[in-house]
Amino acid sequence: MKKEDKDWKPVILITGEEGFDPSFGTANFIMNRKYTGYAAKNGGLPFMPEDIRMAKEYVELSDGLILSHGPDIHRGRYGQYYTDFKEMRDICSTRDDFEFTLFTLFAEAGKPVLGIGRGMQVINTALGGTLYLPDSKKKKELDQDLSGELKFVYPEPKSRLFALSGSSFPAELFKIPGISKLGINMRPTAFSEKECIEALEHDDLPILGIGWNPLNENTGAQNHSLFHYFIQICKGAE
């Protein structure tokens, strides 16, 4: 099917998490099925990449990239370090390598990218930005009221998010290291009540990062509108 056909669907690459099944002794890739469900319901054809050696082929095949949420990226990606091996127990360097490679290739190709939670970290640091350390005073201050309850997010006027969701909306904020220094050509386009950056947009490229869980079905229609908007970009309709 060609893009000119009315039933054509853009191919959406969605990254997953690496896992291990002790019952069978096999390595697995894991993904929240809501990611593929939201992408499919809004007109996309989602699939999950598995092999970094095929990164260029994935980019050629796909019309857009969704970097899904997951464990924090390695601190070395933004010039920091670990002082205790326990701090590294959830780190997955192979996933870091894969997602940073995919993001760089998609950005070079000018193809749309949506980063969710961890995915926003990848976008910002890949473009030269930094994050607050998880154990920093600033990070702890920002985390104080993230008890699982919905918090309000406030998009900036004239941003894509403002056009989609209005001046504010409830969201389940991820408890992740916040944005400290912005990546090159990235600008903040939404903030939490504590003025923590909760969304980023690129000045020139179709790249968007968010710091909340768009799969939480208790937060309203803006979740589907976000996926719908992204799929439309991938179709070239926006």
For residue 112, the model assigns a pLDDT of: 98
Alpha helical stretches, state H, the chain: 33-41, 55-61, 93-109, 118-126, 137-143, 160-165, 222-235
| pLDDT for the residue numbered 144 | 45
Give the whole-angstrom CA distance, residue 215 versus residue 207.
19
Which tokens sit at 236? 């070239």
Exposure of 222 in the CB half-sphere (CA atoms within 13 A): 23
Distance of CA 65 to the CA centre of its chain: 9
Q: Indicate the residue type of 4.
A: E
Question: Which tokens go with 105?
Answer: 């290739």
- Asked if 29 and 19 touch (Cβ cutoff 8 Å), the reply is yes
Contact predicate 66/210, CB 8 Å: no
Enter the DSSP assignment of 4. Answer: T
Task: Yes or no: say if 116 and 164 are a contact pair by the CB < 8 Å rule.
Answer: no
pLDDT tens for the chain, residues 1 to 238: 556 677 899 999 999 987 666 666 666 778 889 999 999 999 999 999 999 999 999 999 999 999 999 988 888 888 887 666 666 667 788 899 999 999 999 999 999 999 999 999 999 999 999 998 766 555 445 544 555 578 899 999 989 899 888 899 999 999 888 899 999 999 999 999 888 999 999 999 999 999 999 998 877 666 678 999 999 999 986 6
